[in-house]
Amino acid sequence: MNSAKFLAAAIAALAALGCSVEPQSNTVSAVVSDVQISTEHLGHIAGVLQEEVDAGIRPGFVALVATKEGVVYQTAVGMADPYNDVPMAAETRFLIASMTKPVVTAAMMQLVDRGVVALNDPVSLYIPSFASMQVAISHAANDDGTFETRPPSRAITIHDLLTHMAGLGYVFDQQTDIGKAYLAADLYGDAGTLAERMEVLTSLPLYEDPGTKWRYSFATDVVGRVIEVASGQPLGLYMEENLFAPLGMNDTEFFLEETDTTRLAAMNAFNDQGEMVRDPITDEGFGLASGGGGLVSTAPDYARFMMMLLNGGELNGARILSPATVVLMMSDHTPFNTLPENWKRDGITFGLGGATIRTPGYFGRAAAKGEWGWSGFWDTSFFITPELGVAEVLMTQAMPGPNTPPSRARDRVRAITYGALE
């Protein structure tokens, strides 16, 4: 199946809205560098995940906890493909959707480290049509479907893209006319190459002036195109040569139709009777290198990305980012008054490419100050807490929809991970 049908199915789903692997160590505690963590306590992770599998909430999970020195706990629970009796395993591959965004952000920050791109560069320096973008005076369209617009107060910068403060829209606003215009543009569909999709994007109005509001958007897709222009390479090739190969992320790529699918976890949906069923997109392929999504990966591969960040931008002799840049990525870049109301309430803010916890007590769940991470549309997530030296990734596959049961796994695994620190 091509990228158009694949992501169209995902958007449509939103609109409609046991096999266990033992932990790597059975010792009571492990001292990794200056981080002391109880692997015995981490063993509770497998149990809480098995509860969800037994309850039919998800068919299976892979969970992994790491410090900067390596993986200290890993478990695979349940089934990767329950429809063909394929057990979950550490090497199971997942469609990680928006967990692509932090990785693409790191690729952009490499170019910043190398002086190729500056954070305050106007995007139009790399994509000229961005110079002509206009701001919608109203999010309601005229009778003929057009929008009254005005020039933006200033140019969109690379920093605006990395912080989702460019004023761009996305696929999740189905209420306003401007949101419907972004959906109709089908930017994750048949709009052509990444370069061609940018021309479609810049024909749409901005929601508001750049820098005035945090709004989840196509911004990281634009980042992908800027990487192509600035590096002179297709996005997938740049990522392979500059991140995946140096980090040994051999199971991470933009998933193509001809690529081996035998280790890919099935995508799961829930029908009107609440029964778990195999979603047809599982077998129909994915071929979009978008910047904002499209990667397939494994928990151990994503752990290598996380460990690189915990090590200040280096892993096993491969220097990916400078230490200063890693700190910059995980710092608070978002003025409080620009945040969504629920983020203000929960003490969440945004860095470069990921959300970070500003006030952990407000979060209402286990969290730590400076925790940085993101999640994917199909139920994958990760976090890194540099001050505590710990990172965790959790992967499963579920299509959002009105019949999909909510999972508590993410919150419970996070709590156990923090609870294991000594």
Q: How confident is the model at residue 28 (pLDDT cuts 50, 70, 90)?
A: very low
Residue 111: pLDDT over 80: yes
In whole angstroms, what is the distance from residue 207 CA to residue 128 CA?
20
Torsion of CA 218, 281, 261, 189, to 10 degrees: -30
pLDDT of the residue at 188: 85
For 84, counting Cβ atoms within 10 Å of its Cβ (0-12 exposed, 13-18 middle, 19+ buried), the class is exposed
In whole angstroms, what is the distance from residue 278 CA to residue 266 CA?
7
Which one, of 284, 286, 293, lies nearest residue 380 by Cα?
293
**How much is the average pLDDT of 316-328?**
97
Are the C-beta atoms of residues 121 and 130 closer than 8 Å to each other? Answer: no
| Residue 134: CB atoms within 10 Å | 16
In whole angstroms, what is the distance from residue 205 CA to residue 217 CA?
13
Backbone angles phi, psi at 237, to 5 degrees: -70, -45
Residue 372: pLDDT over 90: yes
Residue 109: pLDDT over 60: yes
- Three-state DSSP at 382 gives strand
226-252, pLDDT tens digit by residue? 999 999 999 999 999 999 999 999 999
Residue 32: pLDDT over 90: no
Query: SS3 breakdown of the chain: % helix, strand, coil, rounded to 5?
Result: 35, 20, 45
Out of 26-35, 74-83, 135-144, which region has the weakest mean confidence (pLDDT)? 26-35
Residue 6: pLDDT over 60: no
What's this model's pTM, rounded to 2 decimal places? Answer: 0.92
Residue 200: pLDDT over 50: yes
- Three-state DSSP at 315 gives strand
What percent of the chain is predicted at pLDDT more than 70?
Answer: 90
Residue 190 corresponds to which tokens in the numbers above? Answer: 């048949």
CA 97, 101, 106, 112 dihedral sign is positive
Residue 337 corresponds to which tokens in the numbers above? Answer: 């008054």
Backbone angles phi, psi at 133, to 5 degrees: -65, 145
Are the C-beta atoms of residues 194 and 225 closer than 8 Å to each other? Answer: yes
